[in-house]
Amino acid sequence: MKPSLYKISVIGAGAVGATLAQRLFESGFADVVLLDVVKNIARGKALDLMDAAPIMGTEKSIVGTDDYKDIRDSDIVVITAGLPRKPGMTREDLISKNAAIVKDVSSKIKIHAPEAIVIVVTNPLDIMTYLAYKATGFNRNRVVGMAGALDGSRFIALIADELKVRRDLIKTYVMGSHGDTMVPIISQTFVNGRLLSSVIPKDKIESIVKRTCDRGAEIVSLLGTGSAYYSPSAAVLKMVKAMMDDAGDVVTASFYLNGEYGLKDICMGVPCRFDRRGVIDVMKLELSNEEKELFSRSAVAVKSSIDLI
Ligand code: A3D
């Protein structure tokens, strides 16, 4: 990765936000601002992270705050503010409360970091990404949602576990919404260069796909309170790295579509090519007929949720 003078602000200092701040700060490639509406929580966590800096060997700065003036000149702002799911809840159950939070946060980003790229993490992801796009009024290349990077990582972890192969030998894309209608693209999933369908029987693939879709809920029910945060923060880091590398790396992300994959005025997970300006291109994958059908169904689900806001 190229050296950089990046500044990244993380809004929401809860489980995902604080873990992401730790990953960014300890990776040493960005100065970090951690902001939370709850007075002092971000300050306390930032001080704690700063105290570990001599051990972790980073010279970057980390600031905890509840003041949006501190996000000024951020290259990237990540929105993690909002309620997580409780056991038994769907991501869509969070719509009304999180929509108000994301709208408020987006309007402040627009004022205090008007040049930033925004990465949305708050659920329901595709709906909140759409809302952030509309509320900031930023060009669409600067507003994306984190989902496909996480869902793809979950899918790969499960395939690798099943086949007992190295995880870095598996390539895949998980498109569509970050919800029950997500679409792992089996026709473009390869294990060491071989199509997944040639190395695992169909029924086994179906069960891995189901476990991938249910993974978030499985973690929610085991934790009792809160939802996953190690893998979501790692997935945001992957997106940040793709932007900072400035080399056109492809990561699947929720993105405002303007005709790509036959859809308009909706945010959905598609493979995006990134550089320091954000999304520079949407990669056109050749989907099978079944995948096209599943992708359209996923779009119908996202559209009906967008109508609620
Ligand atoms: P949690 O640990 O509760 O942290 C949320 C933080 O947001 C809390 O510290 C709140 O004080 C703060 N907050 C609330 N309102 C505001 C506001 N207006 N301005 C600033 N901060 C505010 O939740 P979490 O970190 O586990 O999850 C955060 C969000 O990310 C939830 O909506 C989750 O559902 C979502 N999430 C998404 C994924 C994806 O894969 C897309 C994964 C994990 C979590």
Domain boundary among 146, 175, 209: 146
Buried b (16+ CB within 10 A) or exposed e, 236-272: bbbbbebbbeeeebebbbbbbbeebbebeebbbbbbb
Buried b (16+ CB within 10 A) or exposed e, 100-116: ebbeebbebbbebbeeb
Indicate whether 197 and 252 sit together in one domain: yes
Domain boundary among 81, 115, 146: 146
Distance CA 130, CA 145 (A): 9
What CATH number did the domain enclosing 230 receive? 3.90.110.10
Considering its fold, how many domains does the chain have in total? 2
CA nearest ligand 1 atom 5, residue: 14
Of the two residues 116 and 3, the one the predictor is more confident about is 116
Which residues contact ligand 1 via a Cβ below 6 A?
11-17, 36-38, 80-85, 94, 98, 101, 104-105, 121-123, 125, 146-147, 150, 178, 226-229, 232
Q: Token pair for residue 198?
A: 């040639």
Domain boundary among 110, 128, 146: 146
Indicate whether 136 and 33 sit together in one domain: yes
Distance CA 245, CA 124 (A): 28
Confidence bin at 90 (pLDDT 50/70/90): confident
**Active-site residue list:** 178
Amino acid found at 40: N
CA nearest ligand 1 atom 34, residue: 84
CA nearest ligand 1 atom 22, residue: 81
Percent of the chain residues topping a pLDDT of 90: 92
Give me the pLDDT at residue 84, please.
85
What CATH number did the domain enclosing 101 receive? 3.40.50.720
Ligand 1 geometric centre to CA of 20 (Å): 12
Distance CA 84, CA 90 (A): 10
CB 283 within 8 A of CB 273: yes
* pLDDT 10s digits, 157-191: 999 999 999 999 999 999 999 988 999 999 999 99
Pocket test for ligand 1, best of 11, 23, 227 (most atoms within 8 A of CB): 227
Looking at 105-220, which runs of residues are DSSP E strands?
A: 117-120, 143-145, 170-171, 174-175, 183-184, 190-191, 194-195
Judge whether 104 lies within some domain.
yes
Give me the pLDDT at residue 91, please.
81
State the residue range of the domain holding 72. 7-146
* pLDDT 10s digits, 248-305: 999 999 999 999 999 999 999 999 999 999 999 999 999 999 999 999 999 999 999 9
